[in-house]
């Protein structure tokens, strides 16, 4: 007798093949039957009128800390994700030295928008090796999770304070190579790094990886090729790629003999040549025996910003030093008219670049307030606030934020929500040089809702706009990322493969309203949105979510390189 049968559904197997009616039989965590009439089972799920798909695979998350206190890895699992990869952008929680815990937590808080009080309360940091960190998670998770080894973490653990501003000595580089090798041997899925100018540490300085030279990056990539089932990830500067950056990315792939995926490719009809210029790096790589893959989002990002965490504000010219001040000092500084003039001048610098929409103060929309006296401003613009108060745009914004201890949330009007941009986005999803992903789930907790990237793709990209067929979209969310990372026998519905499965209603699948939840350690808040139309989530043959309710089962597997992954070469 089978352990589980999902009966009567239409199967999207993850390869992009047409839907077909079939029962899915599961035994010992594996798919053992895929027939018109599966045998008897101890448990059955009626999937009549529903689609049965592989569990979604999210390769760009920052759940490194959250998995320590949230075994269900919410809200990703609620949205159909059964496997996540953390340790992206050069940031991981292992390897670790006790003396560097404080720096690494403050860096994560600043650069990835995780409340510091939650990190302090939820991350004991009582491990040193990568294997020890992964072992903390064995048998504790509802879904599968694997982690890359972060460059900034390696650099700080080896170099200490010299990791910021200093070039690695020969001895330090050797130590980093050895530590990376040990971390990969201990289960790390690969190496990640960042050159992004927006990535600043808790002191407002560029994160450690941004101080590495080309030779250091390439030597560390070369370690990856020595370990089976590993890969490469990076965050480049988002501006048009200069030739030297393209050359570095190509040589990273060549040195590691692995694909290099980067985050994130933005698509807008307002600048149609921008993404093509960046995708051209993939063509250069292919011509030189390398492989570069761009991650791109299936939605327009609605980035809520506030002056308390300071994300995006801290990347504006002249703002970083103010945003790095302790809260009380920052509040005092932002009351100073002279400083306000300096900050405003910085926003008119050509260096603002892609953040120009953030500094269009009067078009910012007020989306969340925290005092009843300000509730009537929710949904209105800074322009309306400025007219009512007789203040200029930045002054009006700062006055409101200061009245609420800098907690007020604002929403920039970002480009890309027009029909032309959506059509262009649909074409980019089909481009073999790209992969839908870039969720950043587990990061920027008070800022973005891209954790729901899969359900958004199925709702808006498939059902509402018809930019992809359902089978194509499911392939983008399942088999495509699993094959890029070499996840063994995951990402497809096939006999003998792991039974990571989702039962969904294609007519209703989507995302509920965004709201705040005060459920983080230390009493901190995060944005949350429930899934719609995700009826069952099954991991390794065990139901973990049934009609929106978690079962408390913990069948997730910690994904270790070599054991759970196979080598994918360029």
Residue 236, CB-side half-sphere exposure with 13 Å CA sphere: 27
Question: What pLDDT shows up at residue 475?
Answer: 98
For 4-103, strand residue ranges (E) read 4-11, 20-27, 30-35, 44-46, 51-54, 56-58, 81-86
Question: What pLDDT shows up at residue 417?
Answer: 87
Specify whether 250 is located in the same domain as 226. yes
Residue 18 placed within a domain: no
For the chain, the straight-line distance linking the first and the last C-alpha, in angstroms and rounded, comes to 43
10-residue averages of pLDDT along the chain (570 residues): 97 98 98 92 97 98 98 98 98 98 96 95 97 98 99 98 96 98 98 94 94 98 98 92 97 98 93 93 98 96 87 88 93 97 92 83 93 96 97 97 95 87 96 97 93 98 98 98 98 98 98 91 93 98 97 98 98
Specify whether 247 is located in the same domain as 319. no
Where is the domain boundary, 361, 383, 411? 411
3-state secondary structure (DSSP) of residue 368 = strand
Contact of 542 with 131, CB cutoff 8 Å: no
pLDDT per residue over 301-334, tens digit each?
888 999 998 888 988 999 989 998 999 999 999 9
Residue 10 placed within a domain: no
Residue 30 placed within a domain: no
Total H helices, total E strands in the chain: 17, 24
Question: What pLDDT shows up at residue 264?
Answer: 95
3-state secondary structure (DSSP) of residue 552 = coil
Specify whether 263 is located in the same domain as 330. no
Q: How many distinct structural domains can be found in the chain?
A: 2
Residue 191, CB-side half-sphere exposure with 13 Å CA sphere: 32
Specify whether 138 is located in the same domain as 74. yes
What residues form DSSP beta bridges with 233? Answer: 192, 261
Structural domain containing residue 174: 56-302+416-485+495-526
Question: What pLDDT shows up at residue 31?
Answer: 98
Specify whether 113 is located in the same domain as 257. yes
Q: Are strands 231-235 and 190-194 parallel, antiparallel or unpaired?
A: parallel
Question: What pLDDT shows up at residue 309?
Answer: 82
pLDDT per residue over 6-26, tens digit each?
999 999 999 999 999 999 999
357, burial (CB in 10 Å: exposed 0-12, middle 13-18, buried 19+) = middle
CATH number assigned to the domain comprising residue 160: 3.20.20.140
Gap between the Cα atoms of 271 and 503, Å rounded: 38
Residue 16 placed within a domain: no
Specify whether 209 is located in the same domain as 78. yes
* pTM of the predicted protein model: 0.92
Where is the domain boundary, 382, 411, 440? 411
Gap between the Cα atoms of 506 and 503, Å rounded: 10
Where is the domain boundary, 411, 430, 462? 411
Question: What pLDDT shows up at residue 204?
Answer: 84
Specify whether 241 is located in the same domain as 197. yes
Question: What pLDDT shows up at residue 352?
Answer: 86
For 68-214, strand residue ranges (E) read 81-86, 144-147, 149-150, 190-194
Task: Output the DSSP codes for 455-478.
Answer: HHIIIIIIIIT-SS-HHHHHHHHT
Residue 203 placed within a domain: yes
Residue 425 placed within a domain: yes
Q: Return the H-helix or E-strand segment holding 244.
A: helix 243-256
Question: What pLDDT shows up at residue 382?
Answer: 97
Backbone angles phi, psi at 298, to 5 degrees: -95, 20
Residue 432, CB-side half-sphere exposure with 13 Å CA sphere: 4
Specify whether 249 is located in the same domain as 333. no
Specify whether 431 is located in the same domain as 400. no
Q: Return the H-helix or E-strand segment holding 218.
A: helix 214-224
Specify whether 107 is located in the same domain as 254. yes
Question: What pLDDT shows up at residue 262?
Answer: 98
Residue 559 structure tokens: 């994904």
Specify whether 236 is located in the same domain as 329. no
Among 143, 25, 140, residue whose Cα is nearest residue 441: 143
Distance of CA 374 to the CA centre of its chain: 33
Specify whether 182 is located in the same domain as 327. no
pLDDT per residue over 255-281, tens digit each?
999 999 999 999 999 888 899 999 999
Gap between the Cα atoms of 119 and 313, Å rounded: 22
Residue 537 structure tokens: 């989530």
Residue 511 placed within a domain: yes
Question: What pLDDT shows up at residue 542?
Answer: 98
Residue 11 placed within a domain: no
Gap between the Cα atoms of 415 and 144, Å rounded: 35
Question: What pLDDT shows up at residue 43?
Answer: 97
């Amino acid at each position: 007798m089978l352990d589980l049968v999902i009966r009567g559904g239409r199967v999207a197997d993850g390869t992009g093949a047409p839907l077909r009616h079939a029962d899915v039989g599961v035994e010992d965590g594996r798919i053992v039957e895929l027939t018109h009439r599966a045998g008897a089972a101890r448990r059955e799920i009626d999937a009549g009128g529903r689609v049965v798909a592989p569990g979604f695979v999210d390769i760009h998350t920052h759940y490194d800390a959250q998995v320590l206190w949230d075994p269900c890895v919410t809200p990703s699992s609620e949205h159909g994700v059964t496997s996540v990869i953390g340790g992206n952008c050069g940031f991981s929680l292992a390897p670790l030295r006790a003396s560097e815990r404080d720096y690494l937590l403050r860096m994560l808080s600043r650069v990835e928008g995780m409340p510091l009080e939650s990190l302090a309360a939820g991350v004991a940091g009582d491990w040193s090796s990568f294997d020890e960190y992964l072992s903390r998670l064995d048998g504790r998770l509802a879904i599968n999770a694997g982690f890359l080894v972060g460059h900034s973490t390696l650099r700080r653990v080896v170099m200490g304070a010299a990791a910021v501003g200093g070039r690695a000595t020969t001895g330090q580089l050797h130590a980093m190579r050895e530590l990376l090798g040990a971390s990969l041997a201990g289960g790390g899925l690969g190496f990640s790094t960042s050159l992004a100018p927006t990535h600043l540490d808790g002191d407002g300085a560029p994160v450690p990886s941004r101080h590495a030279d080309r030779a250091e990056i390439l030597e560390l990539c070369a370690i990856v090729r020595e370990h089976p089932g590993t890969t490469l990830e990076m965050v480049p500067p988002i501006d048009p790629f200069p030739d030297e950056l393209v050359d570095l990315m190509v040589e990273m792939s060549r040195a590691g003999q692995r694909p290099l995926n980067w985050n994130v490719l933005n698509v807008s009809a307002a600048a149609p040549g921008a993404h093509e210029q960046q995708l051209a790096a993939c063509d250069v790589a292919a011509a030189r025996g390398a492989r570069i893959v761009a991650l791109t989002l299936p939605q327009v990002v609605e980035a809520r910003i506030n002056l308390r965490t300071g994300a995006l504000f801290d990347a504006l010219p002249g703002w970083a030093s103010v945003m790095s001040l302790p809260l009380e000092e920052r509040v005092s500084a932002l009351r100073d008219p002279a400083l306000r003039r300096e900050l405003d001048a910085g926003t008119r610098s050509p260096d603002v670049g892609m953040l120009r929409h953030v500094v269009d103060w009067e078009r910012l929309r007020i989306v969340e307030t925290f005092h009843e006296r300000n509730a009537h401003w929710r949904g209105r613009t800074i322009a309306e606030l400025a007219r009512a108060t007789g203040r200029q745009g930045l002054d009006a914004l700062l006055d409101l934020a200061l009245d609420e201890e800098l907690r007020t949330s604002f929403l920039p009007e970002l480009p890309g929500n027009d029909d032309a941009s959506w059509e262009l986005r649909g074409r980019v999803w089909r481009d073999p040089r790209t992969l839908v992903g870039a969720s950043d789930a587990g990061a920027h907790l008070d800022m973005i809702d891209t954790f729901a990237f899969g359900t958004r793709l199925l709702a808006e990209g498939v059902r509402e706009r018809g930019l992809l067929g359902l089978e194509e979209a499911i392939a983008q969310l399942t088999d495509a990322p699993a094959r890029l990372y070499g996840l063994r026998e995951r990402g497809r519905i096939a006999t003998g493969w792991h039974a990571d499965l989702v039962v969904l209603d294609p007519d209703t699948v989507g995302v509920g309203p965004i709201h705040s939840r005060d459920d983080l350690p230390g009493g901190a808040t995060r944005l949350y949105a429930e899934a719609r139309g995700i009826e069952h989530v099954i991991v390794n043959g065990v139901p973990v979510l049934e009609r929106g309710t978690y079962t408390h089962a913990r069948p997730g597997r910690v994904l270790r390189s070599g054991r759970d992954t196979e080598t994918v070469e360029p």
